[in-house]
């Protein structure tokens, strides 16, 4: 289908974009890569009267290290994340996840900010950002504020962003050297959303798990942080019975829909399998 008519705006700065969103009100939507918004507009599920295209704002692009954190501009594409040497060295979980998002054509347009900002439970990066304990930088008419990724998602397509606020950057604590991380994703075909997926990042002290974080994708109306499973694994030596208990704790917090990807019970089981695989790979990487 063809979208309804709209006015198109292309600001050059963050301040200009924020001012446009404030003045145009509820009838305006920010446009990043467009892979979520444009299809919804074609289906007439979204009909904004104004599109504010962020692609010309240079300050929203790029990766830098700052005060023990990696700062990624919201308009940095998945393809750029795959190619960035700092990301590859410090946060290899991110390019591993980027490589599993859709296909190369989409990765050249799709952005990190667009993937995490709109609250789509099927997107891959939100659970990864929760596992990495990232913080989202939002800018609105009243200035800048920072919201932890773990507190950002409130429901399907509902987030803690206030009306008129723009996500401008993602700040990610640099994991310690020797950490291990993995993202495991089950999908029906290339380009599909996950049937279920799991992100794991951990550190080891010898054979003992020192820290661990687990994010789950597309098995509830929001990405999930599996805190009970994390508590079970922390301090363990990843004994099989401990891993079994952690997997069951993670499965217990899922609430997937039955859809074309399978019945809810199947998707919950697949979340457990993805977690086992991600945990095993992350631990192997942490051990070197």
Instruction: Compute the distance between CA of residue 183 and CA of residue 126 in angstroms, rounded to an integer.
Output: 12
- What pLDDT, on a 0 to 100 scale, did the predictor assign at position 13? 97
Instruction: Compute the distance between CA of residue 56 and CA of residue 54 in angstroms, rounded to an integer.
Output: 6
Question: Phi-psi bin for 74: left (phi > 0), alpha (psi -120 to 50), beta?
Answer: alpha
Instruction: Compute the distance between CA of residue 149 and CA of residue 130 in angstroms, rounded to an integer.
Output: 5
> pLDDT by residue (tens digit) across 111-129?
999 999 999 999 999 999 9
- What pLDDT, on a 0 to 100 scale, did the predictor assign at position 215? 98
- What pLDDT, on a 0 to 100 scale, did the predictor assign at position 251? 98
Structure tokens at 174: 């640099």
pLDDT < 50 regions, the chain: none
Q: Treating both helix axes as pointing N-terminal to C-terminal, what angle do 240-252 and 264-287 enclose, rounded to 10 degrees?
A: 140
Tokens 């799991």 belong to 198
> pLDDT by residue (tens digit) across 194-239?
999 999 999 999 999 999 999 999 999 999 999 999 999 999 999 9
Domains along the sequence of the chain with CATH: 7-53 (3.30.43.10), 61-173 (3.30.465.10), 180-287 (3.30.390.50)
Residue of 156, 184, 186 whose CA lies nearest to 266? 186
The answer to whether 187 and 99 have CB atoms below 8 angstroms apart is: no
State whether residue 226 is helix, strand or coil. coil
- What pLDDT, on a 0 to 100 scale, did the predictor assign at position 209? 98
- What pLDDT, on a 0 to 100 scale, did the predictor assign at position 59? 96
Instruction: Compute the distance between CA of residue 61 and CA of residue 131 in angstroms, rounded to an integer.
Output: 23
């Amino acid at each position: 289908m063809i979208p309804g008519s709209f006015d198109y705006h292309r600001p050059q700065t963050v301040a200009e974009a924020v001012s446009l969103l404030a003045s145009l009100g509820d009838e305006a939507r920010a446009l990043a890569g467009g892979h979520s918004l444009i299809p919804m507009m074609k289906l007439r599920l979204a009909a904004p009267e104004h599109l504010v295209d962020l692609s010309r704002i240079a300050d929203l692009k790029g990766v830098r290290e700052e005060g023990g954190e990696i700062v990624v501009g919201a308009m940095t594409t998945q393809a750029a994340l795959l190619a960035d040497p700092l990301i590859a060295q410090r946060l290899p979980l991110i390019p591993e996840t980027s490589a599993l998002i859709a296909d190369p054509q989409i990765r050249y347009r799709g952005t990190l900010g667009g993937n995490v900002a709109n609250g789509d439970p099927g997107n891959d990066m939100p659970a990864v950002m929760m596992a990495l304990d990232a913080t989202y930088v939002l800018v609105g008419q009243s200035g800048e504020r920072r919201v932890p990724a773990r507190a950002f998602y409130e429901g399907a397509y509902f987030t803690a962003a206030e009306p008129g606020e723009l996500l401008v950057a993602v700040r990610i604590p640099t994991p310690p050297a020797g950490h291990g991380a993995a993202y495991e994703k089950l999908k029906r075909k290339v380009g599909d959303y996950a049937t279920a997926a799991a992100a794991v990042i951990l550190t080891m002290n010898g054979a003992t798990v020192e820290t661990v974080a687990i994010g789950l994708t597309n098995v509830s109306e929001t990405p999930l942080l599996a805190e009970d499973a994390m508590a079970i694994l922390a301090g363990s030596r990843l004994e099989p019975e401990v891993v079994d208990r952690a997997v069951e704790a993670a499965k217990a917090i899922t609430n997937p829909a039955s859809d074309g990807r399978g019945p809810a019970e199947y998707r919950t089981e697949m979340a457990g399998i993805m977690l086992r695989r991600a945990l095993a790979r992350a631990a192997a990487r942490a051990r070197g």
